[in-house]
Amino acid sequence: MTELYNIALEILGNGKGILAADESTATMTKRLDSVNVQSTSENRLLFRETLFKASAMKDCIGGVILYDETIKQISSEKNTIPKLISSMGSHPGIKVDTGAKVLAGSSDEKITEGLDGLRERLKEYYKLGAKFTKWRGVYNITKDFPSKLSICSNAHALARYSAMVQECNMVPIVEPELLMDGDHTAKDCYQKTSEVIKKCFEELILHKVDLKGIILKPNMILPGNKSKEKISNEEVAKLTLDCLKNSVPSEVPGIAFLSGGQSEIEATENLNLINKINNTNFIMSFSYGRALQQSALKFWSKNIQDTEGTQKVFNHRAKMNTLAAQGKWSKEIEN
Ligand code: 13P
């Protein structure tokens, strides 16, 4: 199992983080529609390949999460995408859940599916070059949610998934995402995130998952996006660190935050502040989707052949987050 621990450290060590490029075709189509680019498999590949060949891949991106379509695509140099990512010194990963569906028994909540046939799919992905995987459980915050049913059933699925992934020699990313949507306070987010994460670890331990060979991908502690409450970034960092300190077992090597709808700068600034006060042994880094790709996508959409220009935008964002993962980012460097 030290092998998995080492992979986790290679992905998140030295300020590196993860590029979450695993948008499903439906989500990627929404992203491309928003910048008026047609969502064809060629265009999805072209944008992603442009990022995967950027120089920041070498110093800032320790792992890339792919979607099923992308892991099977071939680059313009006739390389497989996992080989291209490995050649840049980064690890290829794969999203293996099949999405969040209506939870029977609590129809306003979701349960993530994909356990049936998972072992066979994992073996295939491993052969294709994947070194790590992702499964996302998703939870709403309201007065009544997440319900005990959603907390227990998603934790169970995350644990069964993780045990199988480790059996197949890959590092599972455990992602319980409490959504930012709603009018809840930061305190609500703190309490519910803590409850969800604690339950996840209870199940991971029950399923004999080696905690040294996983990466946790949590949300930061924020007030809901419709909340009247406004708190400072310093407060976000303090609450986030405190929540994780109290709910994550010390064996876990690394925590890689999702951006969850924060702006690019917010996600960088909050990560930086967390690292400035990080007095734990956890590596605190990023596994951003939107917060790493938004500006690059916008730039690219204006001229999809402008590889260099697009890479420049992406390199900057990746570099800023690598500095933030070491507590070395500042507004002056940003500008
Ligand atoms: P965002 O950073 O855009 O939230 O995406 C991360 C992710 O992988 C969500 O599952």
- 65 Cα nearest atom in ligand 1: 8
Does the Cβ of 270 fall within 6 Å of ligand 1? no
**Cα first-last separation, the chain:** 42
* Ligand 1 midpoint to CA 332 (Å): 27
* Ligand 1 midpoint to CA 66 (Å): 12
The predicted pLDDT at position 114 comes to 98
Which residue is associated with the tokens 């052949």? 305
Q: Is 131 a catalytic residue?
A: no
Does the Cβ of 176 fall within 6 Å of ligand 1? no
CA distance 208 to 29: 38
Distance (Å) of CA 280 to CA 183, 216, 246, 251, 322: 31, 15, 11, 11, 18
- Is 79's pLDDT higher than 90? yes
Mean pLDDT (whole number) for 62-86 = 97
Does the Cβ of 258 fall within 6 Å of ligand 1? yes
Q: Which residue puts its alpha carbon closest to atom 8 of ligand 1?
A: 20
Q: Pairing relation of β-strands 171-178 and 215-216?
A: parallel
Q: Which residue puts its alpha carbon closest to atom 4 of ligand 1?
A: 260
Under DSSP, the state recorded for 313 is H
Domain with residue 114: its CATH number is 3.20.20.70
What tens digit of pLDDT does each residue of 123-135 get?
A: 999 999 999 999 9
What tens digit of pLDDT does each residue of 137-196 get?
A: 999 999 999 999 999 999 999 999 999 999 999 999 999 999 999 999 999 999 999 999
Identify the active-site residue in 177, 217, 264, 319.
217
Q: Is 217 a catalytic residue?
A: yes
Torsional class of 41: left (φ above 0), alpha (ψ -120 to 50), beta (otherwise): alpha
Identify the active-site residue in 23, 175, 177, 269.
175
Residue 173 structural domain: 2-334
Does the Cβ of 139 fall within 6 Å of ligand 1? no
What tens digit of pLDDT does each residue of 311-326 get?
A: 999 999 999 999 999 9
pLDDT bin (cut points 50, 70, 90) of residue 116 is: very high
* Structural domain count, the chain: 1
- 259 Cα nearest atom in ligand 1: 2
Put simply, whether the predicted model's pTM sits higher than 0.85 gets the answer yes
